[in-house]
Structure 1
């Protein structure tokens, strides 16, 4: 019998803070789960639990050396809601801000598609290389069935 290993999503990666990574070239967001109106000390919030790979610069993207955050909680309203339909999948995006609709309100953070084909391709190549490395490690693992 072969085992299908699955990671249990945990919030060990802290909370996503858009202002800290606003200038990143691209994000690879792998959405593990989504909870609408999850109870928090600050009231209920829509919440996505994700693995967030941040390519902070073109150099980091070219070198395949991103910042990897496993189990990161995203609770900014628009960012979390956009990830609801991506659960169990991944997306390549970047951050942007939109002006507030009400006077005195803060600009909202939103995901935008990465329109630069070379950036998208580089992120896809990184993801494929990472997956190939995982598959190679699994293939090299000893068999205890014998």
Structure 2
């Protein structure tokens, strides 16, 4: 019988901070879980648990050396709700801040799709390479049957 390994979504990566990642060339989000109105110390919030891979600059993108955080919690309302429909999937985005509609309000963080085909291709190539390496490691693991 072959093992069907499934990772349990675990929050081990802290909380996503948009202001720290606003200049990233690309962000690969692998969404594991969406919780509507999850209780928090600051009141209930929509929340996403995802693996977040951040390509901070063109050099990291070209070299395939991103910053990877598994099990990161995203609780900014708009960011979390935009990811609700892709649980179990992935997306490639960047961050942007949009001006507030009301005077005195804070600017909102939003995901923007990557329009540059070369950036998307590089991220997909990174993900495919990572997946192939994981499959090769599983294939090389001893079979105890």
Match of 1:25 in 2: 25
What's the offset of the Cα at 1:117?
Answer: 0.2
Match of 2:15 in 1: 15
- Alignment partners' CA distance in 1, 2:117 and 2:6: 31
- Alignment partners' CA distance in 1, 2:139 and 2:11: 29
Query: Normalization by structure 2: what TM-score?
Result: 0.99
Structural mapping, 1:18-57, within 5 Å: 18-57=18-57
- Alignment partners' CA distance in 2, 1:49 and 1:35: 8
Structural mapping, 1:48-67, within 5 Å: 48-67=48-67
Query: Normalization by structure 1: what TM-score?
Result: 0.98
Match of 1:75 in 2: 75
| Structure 2 gap ranges (5+) | none
What's the offset of the Cα at 1:70?
Answer: 0.3
- Count of residues in Structure 1 that have an aligned counterpart in Structure 2: 145
What's the offset of the Cα at 1:103?
Answer: 0.9
Match of 2:100 in 1: 100
- Alignment partners' CA distance in 1, 2:139 and 2:22: 38
Cα RMSD for the two superposed structures: 0.5
Runs of 4+ in 1 over 4 A off after TM superposition: none
Secondary structure of the 1:133 match is: helix
- Alignment partners' CA distance in 2, 1:142 and 1:2: 12
What's the offset of the Cα at 1:101?
Answer: 1.4
- Alignment partners' CA distance in 1, 2:35 and 2:100: 25
